[in-house]
Structure 1
Amino acid sequence: MRLVQLMVPTGARETILGVLDDEEVDYAVTDETSGREYTAVVYFPLPSQAVEPVLDSLQEAGIEDDAYTVVVDAETVIARKFDALQDRYENGDVEDDRISRQELRTEAEELTPSFPVYVVMTVISALVATAGLLLDSPAVVVGSMVIAPLIGPALGASIGTVIDEPELLIDGAKYQALGVVLAIGSAAAMAWFVRVTHVVPPGMDIAEVGEISERLAPDLLSLVIALGAGVAGVLSVSTGVSVALVGVMIAAALIPPAAAAGISLAFGHPGAALGSTVLVFVNVLSVNLAGLVTLWYTGYRPESLFAVEPTQKRVRREIAGLALIVLVFSAFLGGITYSSFQTGSFEQDARDEVELALDEEYEELQLIELEVSLGDDYPFRDPQRVVVTVGGPPGESYPELADLLHERINSHADGSVAVEVRYVEVVEN
């Protein structure tokens, strides 16, 4: 529910009251004695879903922005006429729960901090994420998402497009592009510094760090995070629900991959940075795509009726363009996903072959461990070496085992894979 306070310009009193009477809205009028260009203040409660149509009706009647309108939350309204008004505007669809277009514009503006604050918070978030990734600490990585100021620009661009507010659109797009560059650049600078100052151990293999490695070869499931964040972000803003947690979700799709890309560049692995950078861009585009679709579906349109059709065409073009680009990037992620699937299948096939060989020809031996080492050709890593550890009775040797396992394992590989067999003596008492 909302309480609308409308300052009435000179000569507009009867027009405003006439519109409210036509809409069957209860109101109270107080005279304005400040001697300015306003003659009265009208107070009237409205259901949330009635704010936009009533304000639009006032504008159509000739009441422009100089009427000075303030919309505030109202906790409770007790009136039969208000209940009837609420019943009239409830349609039982998704539009019932959304805030007005006017409130949505304000929400979008308030979610985006000032430029200096945005720059500082983005850099700090990227630095914290970099530290968390290098420390392999999920808690620190989550902390970096909490302070990231990315939800405002991400949603502002979509909102500006749908309600035909070019300034919101341009600012949102610029802030998003700047945020990506700042995040990757800050992460790279910090990672380079800790590397050359030996804050991290010399020769550190970033592929062995769990929080980093999972972002160097992203798969198609990463799209779910970005698309879900875009939809949830728009719904949280458009329904007036707190956006704090949704902001963390959007940051989760952007900040850690950007930090991983910066770390990869600083450690001299441009191929590894490619996968993370693609993930960042596809997530940014997916958030915007999901936001556009959700906003249009929930019924938001430009203020001017003459702008509805051109805006609809523009939104459709942008949705089609974003969907096409996301599809192209998705093909890249799909390739990584398929490569990971092949690697997993190869490891399982290798394990099966080793167990079968031992069962058929070396019953006295048992498989203790099988490890597949991948190459450094990120993001499409192929198996390079298989280390098989077997256990058996002391004092025995099996010179032909390595050749047998090499032949069997390589029958499932696209290229040549080195096979190393380690023998561990097992004494049973």
Structure 2
Amino acid sequence: MLHLRVICPSDRTDEVVRLVEETVGTTHLAVLTGAARKPSGDIVLCDVAREAGDVLLARLRAAGLDRSGSIAVENVDLTLSRSADAAEEAAPGEAADAVLWEHLAEATHEESTLSATYVAFLAVATMLAACGVMLDNAILIVGAMAVGPEFGPLAGISTALVQRAPALVWRSLTALVVGFAAAMLLTAGFSGLMAWCGLFERSMVEADRPNTAFIWQPDWMSFVVAFLAGIAGTLSLTSAKSGALIGVAISVTTVPAAANAAVAFSYQDYAQTWGSTGQLFANLGGIVLAGTLTLLAQKLFWAVVRRRPSATRRPRRAG
């Protein structure tokens, strides 16, 4: 279940109550008259089944409540209520399959912000991966993959393409391009520092490195793995199962490829540089394509589900 708190002007309270009552899957409706102070007005509280949440949020935003008041949404971990059980049964589809587009757009917007913290995480992850490729250490590579924050902008691009939000596309692309450029530049400098300290040597770059050679030898399997990871990551975001993102992070070689490209370039090994760059683009492209297609499939799925049972009903008393 989701818990909604709507602050609205007093003269629009009846309209908000009507929207809540007419949406399948809502319950526990309460109105606190004159309780809001900033902005001033009434507070309308209700619970809604997750699978019906996107419909109600879309109607409230279409009515302009996000501009004249506010709309807040919280996840309810436990609700002991026969009325809540009935609301979930009445809502179309399953809660695990539900997509809250407003939440997804907000989450990807935050994750796609080019910030000092984002660049720092990406740079540190790339430097860790540089150590991994030079030492041919798969454990360091996995650790670097887990630290990298690049899935946020990639998900932002997919979401923006499906939602037709060009501003979010450019925001995500900026975070992705600038972030990787800065991380690779810093990693090249880090590589020079490590060489000056005697910890990195050219022989490390030219060695066979059986555990990490795949990083600069892209093939169709690289794209397939990235595509599957993109599907899993997108499903993780839309179903609120964020724990799966760790598995997604350590299944694609975006950060290691960027690291190897930077290190190889610093040693003038341009064959590895181009190979690693190809691996990087194959992974980025596969994730974005998979994420976009997954979101389109989910959008189509919910359009079909909501056409079967009616998305509205006659006003009823909340209980």
Choose from 43, 46, 53 the match for 1:44: 46
Offset at 1:130? Answer: 0.5
The equivalences for 1:210-229 within 5 A come to 210-229=210-229
**How far, CA to CA, are the matches of 2:105 and 2:227 in structure 1?**
22
Offset at 1:275? Answer: 1.1
Which residue pairs with 1:184 in the alignment?
A: 184
Offset at 1:203? Answer: 4.1
Which residue pairs with 1:248 in the alignment?
A: 249
Which residue pairs with 2:97 in the alignment?
A: 97
The equivalences for 1:259-274 within 5 A come to 259-274=259-274
**How far, CA to CA, are the matches of 2:9 and 2:283 in structure 1?**
47
- The amino acid of 1:53's aligned partner reads V
Structure 2: gaps of 5 or more residues: 302-319
- CA gap of 1:267–1:36, structure 2 versus 1, over 3 A, is closer
Tell me, what secondary structure is at the counterpart of 1:85?
Answer: helix
The equivalences for 1:56-71 within 5 A come to 56-61=58-63, 63-71=65-73
Structure 1 residues 152-194: Cα deviation after superposition (integer angstroms, max 9, x where no partner): 1110111122123333221111111123323433333333333
Offset at 1:64? Answer: 4.4
- The amino acid of 2:32's aligned partner reads T
**How far, CA to CA, are the matches of 1:126 and 1:150 in structure 2?**
11
Instruction: Report how many aligned residue pairs link the two structures.
Output: 298
**How far, CA to CA, are the matches of 1:157 and 1:298 in structure 2?**
16
Choose from 83, 86, 95 the match for 1:84: 86
**How far, CA to CA, are the matches of 1:20 and 1:127 in structure 2?**
51
Larger Rg computed on CA atoms:
1
The equivalences for 1:122-141 within 5 A come to 122-141=122-141
- CA gap of 1:246–1:263, structure 2 versus 1, over 3 A, is same
- CA gap of 1:191–1:44, structure 2 versus 1, over 3 A, is same
- CA gap of 1:113–1:247, structure 2 versus 1, over 3 A, is farther
Tell me, what secondary structure is at the counterpart of 1:177?
Answer: helix
Which residue pairs with 1:423 in the alignment?
A: none
Moved more, 160-169 or 128-137: 160-169
Choose from 23, 30, 33 the match for 2:32: 30
- CA gap of 1:62–1:276, structure 2 versus 1, over 3 A, is closer
Offset at 1:209? Answer: 2.2
Tell me, what secondary structure is at the counterpart of 1:40?
Answer: strand
Offset at 1:29? Answer: 1.1
TM-score (norm 1): 0.64
- The amino acid of 1:195's aligned partner reads A
**How far, CA to CA, are the matches of 1:84 and 1:65 in structure 2?**
32
Offset at 1:103? Answer: 1.2
Q: Report which structure shows greater RCO (CA 8 Å, sep ≥6).
A: 2
- The amino acid of 2:199's aligned partner reads V
Structure 1 residues 30-68: Cα deviation after superposition (integer angstroms, max 9, x where no partner): 123455443211111111111111122334445443330
Structure 1: gaps of 5 or more residues: 302-429
